[in-house]
């Protein structure tokens, strides 16, 4: 399993632009708060540049440059503000409101979920927000396939340690855990699931959003 | 916005431990020629500098499109990438990235954007390509990391020349053909574990992997 930071292979897939939108979102949210991983991605982007240079070159059409200049001359320059792009919070842009105000569906006393897969049209993965109330416990469960999770708010702990806001964790079928929300805020996570959760406790039908 | 000398002074004080960073006063001399041209475009809309960048990088971008399976859109991708370079050149800062690295990220984002527009279903996604793929903080002054960024391309280029061909082949498929590690394994008919270990060995040499706790 991967804990706290994405592993280098995932960062490489991000740098190469090969991840699905939900996975890219998880990495992007982590990078915003992790200078260490940002620096690793910088190096990986340089690797991309060097690979591009290392490959064969293909001549462009003779008219290509003139066409380009004509396009530049004939299109009004965008405003400097439009070029610089304001810093956006991709999660806010995606959800349109604060994560605490979403129409959460309570599944257990301590656990609420919200399936946001429909925000990613054309993707095959399930994308789920989960909320564990402060001090709350989730039932023991394992994971089928790889489940990538990023902590958006608060923190949770399990036998592997404490996962704080913007921490990254990848779990699979070998990782059975019983997360507990620690700290005074509700713990909200974003998970990208390649396959449904598999519950191991007695609450078999409850946490799992796909067995309703 | 900090001046060049300012940022360098700060970098000296808080320099990263990498041995290549021991002589930051020489950074100015190590400026890559493409970065100099790119700054001319950004500051003065210098068309001759822009043409030189085009002659060097356009054939790379065209191959990038072809290897990514969009040969029919290769000329279009070149156009989109270079319009973007022209418009964004005023944001380019040689202290933050080598020109080729900066251009690679633009080519990658434009490639993703182009594929996304082609596959667009009736429902549109609220977030744009750059919201997901542009590294946050890129437009900020981060003097501590700027020299590290500047050096990393040189270091990667040098390290790559020492890597075995089998590692370069795998990395090339990931970067140039947007193949997942699983797809590379299927295509080369080798186990996924072998692909991953080749990548890890390479990233180890490139010192990307240092902070991985779980491998
Ligand atoms: Zn990190």
Q: How far is the CA of A8 from the centre of ligand 1 (A)?
A: 10
pLDDT at A141 over 60: yes
| 3-class secondary-structure state, position A99 | helix
pLDDT at A7 over 60: yes
Q: What is the mean pLDDT of residues A119-145?
A: 86
Check residue A4 and report its DSSP letter: E
Structural domain including A49 reads 8-82
Instruction: Name A190's bridge partners.
Output: A129, A150
Nearest to A95 by CA among A117, A119, A111: A119
d(CA A148, CA B175): 22
| pLDDT in the model for residue B21 | 42
Give the count of domains, chain A: 2
Q: What is the mean pLDDT of residues A120-147?
A: 86
CATH code for the domain defined by B30-139 = 1.10.1740.10
| pLDDT in the model for residue B212 | 43
- Residues 12-41 on B with a CB inside 8 Å of A are none
Average model confidence (pLDDT) across chain A:
86
Residue A40 lies in a domain: yes
Higher model confidence: residue A125 or residue A207?
A125
A35 interaction partners in chain B (CB closer than 8 Å): 137, 142, 145
Q: How far is the CA of B34 from the centre of ligand 1 (A)?
A: 30
Q: Which residue among A82, A110, A136 closes a domain?
A: A82
Contact between chains at B136 and A31 (C-beta distance less than 8 A): yes
The CA-CA-CA angle for residues A156, A162, A163, to 5°, reads: 65
Contact between chains at B127 and A56 (C-beta distance less than 8 A): no
pLDDT at A200 over 80: no
- pLDDT tens-digit readout, A23-36: 999 999 999 889 88
Domain residue spans of chain B? 30-139, 162-215
- pLDDT tens-digit readout, B26-47: 555 567 899 999 999 999 999 9
Is the same domain home to A101 and A78?
no
Is the same domain home to A134 and A175?
yes
Check residue A22 and report its DSSP letter: H
Nearest to B121 among A18, A57, A121 (CB): A121
| pLDDT in the model for residue A139 | 82
CA distance to partner chain B, nearest, from residue A199 (Å): 25
Architecture of domain B162-215: Orthogonal Bundle (1.10)
pTM of the shown model: 0.85
Is the same domain home to A124 and A203?
yes
| pLDDT in the model for residue A57 | 93
- pLDDT tens-digit readout, B162-177: 899 999 999 999 999 9
What whole-number percentage of chain A has pLDDT above 90?
57
| pLDDT in the model for residue A1 | 54
ipTM value, please give it: 0.87
């Amino acid at each position: 399993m991967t804990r706290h930071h994405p592993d280098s292979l995932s960062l490489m897939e991000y740098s190469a632009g090969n991840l699905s939108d939900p996975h890219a979102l998880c990495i992007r949210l982590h990078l915003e708060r992790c200078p260490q991983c940002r620096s690793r991605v910088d190096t990986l982007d340089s690797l991309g540049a060097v690979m591009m240079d290392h490959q064969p070159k293909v001549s462009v059409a003779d008219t290509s440059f003139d066409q380009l200049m004509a396009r530049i001359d004939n299109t009004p320059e965008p405003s400097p503000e439009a070029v610089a792009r304001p810093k956006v919070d991709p999660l806010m842009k995606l959800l349109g409101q604060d994560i605490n105000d979403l129409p959460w569906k309570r599944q257990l006393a301590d656990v609420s979920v919200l399936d946001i897969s429909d925000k990613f049209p054309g993707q095959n993965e399930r994308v789920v927000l989960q909320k564990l109330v402060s001090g709350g416990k989730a039932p023991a469960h394992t994971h089928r396939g790889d489940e990538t999770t990023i902590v958006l708010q608060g923190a949770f702990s399990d036998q592997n340690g404490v996962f704080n806001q913007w921490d990254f964790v990848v779990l699979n079928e070998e990782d059975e855990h019983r997360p507990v929300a620690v700290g005074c805020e509700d713990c909200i996570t974003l998970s990208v699931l390649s396959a449904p959760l598999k519950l191991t406790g007695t609450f078999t039908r409850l946490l799992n959003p796909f067995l309703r | 916005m900090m001046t060049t000398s300012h940022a360098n002074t700060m970098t000296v004080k808080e320099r990263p431990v990498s041995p290549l960073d021991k002589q930051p006063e020489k950074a100015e001399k190590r400026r890559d020629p493409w970065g100099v041209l790119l700054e001319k475009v950004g500051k003065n809309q210098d068309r001759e500098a822009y043409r030189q960048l085009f002659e060097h990088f356009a054939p790379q971008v065209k191959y990038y499109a072809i290897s990514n399976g969009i040969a029919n859109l290769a000329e279009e991708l070149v156009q989109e990438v270079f319009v973007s370079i022209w418009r964004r050149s005023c944001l380019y800062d040689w202290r933050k990235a080598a020109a080729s690295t900066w251009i690679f990220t633009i080519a990658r984002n434009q490639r993703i954007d182009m594929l996304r527009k082609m596959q667009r279903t009736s429902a549109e996604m609220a977030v744009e390509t750059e919201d997901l793929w542009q590294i946050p903080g890129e437009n900020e002054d981060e003097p501590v990391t700027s020299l590290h960024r500047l050096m990393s391309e040189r270091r990667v280029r040098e390290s790559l020349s020492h890597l075995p061909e089998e590692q370069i082949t795998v990395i090339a498929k990931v970067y140039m053909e947007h193949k997942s590690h699983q797809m590379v394994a299927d295509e080369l008919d080798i186990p996924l574990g072998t692909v991953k270990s080749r990548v890890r060995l390479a990233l180890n040499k490139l010192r990307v992997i240092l902070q991985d706790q779980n491998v």
